[in-house]
Structure 1
Amino acid sequence: MTKTTTTTTNDTTTSAPIKNPKKTNILDHHSIKHLLDETVTEIVTNRGYGEDVRTSNVRLLIGAIIIIIALFAQFYNKKFPDNKNFLIGCIVLYVLFNGILQLIIYTKEKNAILFTYPPAGSVYTSTGLMVSSKLPRFSDMYTLTIASTDSKSISAKPTVEFTKSVTKWFTKDGVLVEGLFWKDVEGLVNEYANATDNKKRK
């Protein structure tokens, strides 16, 4: 059953729907980032931005092709050296598709945790969001960035971001204070939505 938690800060009230309190190991860097990233995705899609999984599907398809190539090389019905040319071909294809996969990760995904379509019902928006995050190892500073998926689009907006300590959103027991986190993330989404070419985050 869905409940609503309400947090009041500086006379501003923010409500965030939660099912169960989200808890993580505050000593585990990866667990903290994973929980925050998942919650960001929930918040953004809750604002009407549908998730665009095309890039993920392409990456999964290439990964599947790489696995198939490896299986063919392993179980080809001829023994070495009769299968020498076949193995060379498999190695070349394996390296090629791995290179394509790394290129996609490096140029397209980077630190992205979510790609979206334009908001539902939007008339003047032809680009969705690329939401990315960083939480460096041994650091408590979480950076969330929102940019246009197509920076060349006529409706692309300036990139916005914030960097805050994760200690602001977690209790000492590792429970995420969702009301505070929702407030910060929704504020960044609003900043992006209201941004113009002449308005950039200071």
Structure 2
Amino acid sequence: MEEKKVEPTKTNVKKANLLDHNSIKHILDESVSDIVTSRGYKEDVRLSNLKLFLGVIIIVDALVAQFYNKKFPENRNFLIGCIILYVVLNAVLQLILYTKEKNAILFTYPLEGSFTSTGLVVSSKLPRFSDQYTLTIDSADPKSISAGKSVQLTKSVTQWFTKDGVLVEGLFWKDVEALIKDYAEDKEPKKKK
């Protein structure tokens, strides 16, 4: 299988405010997504679409309740039903975020032509007041027989940024690709000698 290789370009410089932890994490997460998708993984947006769908239903429910209540203030049963629906859908949305999404920045489908039946879940952490960025690659379906072991990289963000806040993409690219390679090698069947 031919691997699509995209190298970072000098024209698209990514710069972060080094005093803003969210700015640093956002640039690193965005770069990780670019790197993983450049390796042939296609993004799985089903969970995002489900969250958007639930969000739209919640908004429509809230609007209906607001305007219906103004027009027909005597009908409290309908308003109570809207409030219950609102609470239930918000609970479902929070449950999805807590159980499925966690710190995930990217969900993928399995590689085309791959023997594996599971994609990746790429997640990251950058604790507040810390310079240690942790990137984790897991199987999207950890119970699958083709799931690989979780691999993790923890490194100081000072390794990847200049003092001006410019991301040294070549170094970051190498580290992330090495992590993807570690995950892929762990899943390959062992060759008999």
Do the structures match in fold with TM over 0.5?
yes
Aligned-partner SS, 2:8: strand
Amino acid at match of 2:127: P
* Residue 174 of structure 1, aligned match among 144, 165, 181: 165
Residue in 1 that maps onto 2:84:
92
Superposition deviation, residue 116 in structure 1: 0.2
How many Å separate the matches in 2 of 1:120 and 1:182?
22
The normalised TM-score by structure 1 is 0.87
Aligned-partner SS, 1:93: helix
Q: Comparing both structures, which one devotes a greater share of its residues to strand?
A: 1
Residue in 2 that maps onto 1:106:
98
How many Å separate the matches in 1 of 2:75 and 2:34?
50
The normalised TM-score by structure 2 is 0.91
How many Å separate the matches in 1 of 2:154 and 2:67?
50
Give the unaligned 5+ runs of structure 1: 1-14
Superposition deviation, residue 196 in structure 1: 4.5
Residue in 1 that maps onto 2:123:
132
Preserved contact between residue 146 and residue 187 of structure 2 (Cα < 8 Å): no
Residue in 2 that maps onto 1:78:
71
Residue in 2 that maps onto 1:187:
178
Aligned-partner SS, 1:150: coil
Give the unaligned 5+ runs of structure 2: 1-5
Aligned-partner SS, 2:129: coil
How many Å separate the matches in 2 of 1:119 and 1:136?
31
How many Å separate the matches in 1 of 2:155 and 2:8?
22
What CA RMSD, in Å, does the superposition of the two structures yield over aligned residues? 1.7
Bigger shift: residues 47-56 or 83-92: 83-92
After superposition, the C-alpha distances for 1:93-117 in whole angstroms (9 at most, x for unaligned) are 0000000000000000000000000
How many Å separate the matches in 1 of 2:66 and 2:75?
11
After superposition, the C-alpha distances for 1:30-87 in whole angstroms (9 at most, x for unaligned) are 010000000000000000000000000000100111000000011116332x121111
Q: Among the aligned pairs, what percent are the same residue? A: 69
Aligned-partner SS, 2:143: coil
How many Å separate the matches in 2 of 1:97 and 1:110?
18
* Residue 155 of structure 2, aligned match among 123, 145, 164: 164
Aligned-partner SS, 2:136: strand
Preserved contact between residue 116 and residue 146 of structure 2 (Cα < 8 Å): yes
* Residue 7 of structure 2, aligned match among 10, 16, 31: 16
After superposition, the C-alpha distances for 1:149-171 in whole angstroms (9 at most, x for unaligned) are 00111110000001100000000
Preserved contact between residue 40 and residue 111 of structure 2 (Cα < 8 Å): yes
Q: Comparing both structures, which one devotes a greater share of its residues to helix?
A: 2
Q: Is 1:27 matched with 2:22?
A: no
Preserved contact between residue 41 and residue 110 of structure 2 (Cα < 8 Å): yes
Dislocated runs of 4+, deviation >6 Å: none
After superposition, the C-alpha distances for 1:116-146 in whole angstroms (9 at most, x for unaligned) are 0001221x11000000000001111000000
Residue in 2 that maps onto 1:42:
34
Aligned-partner SS, 1:20: coil
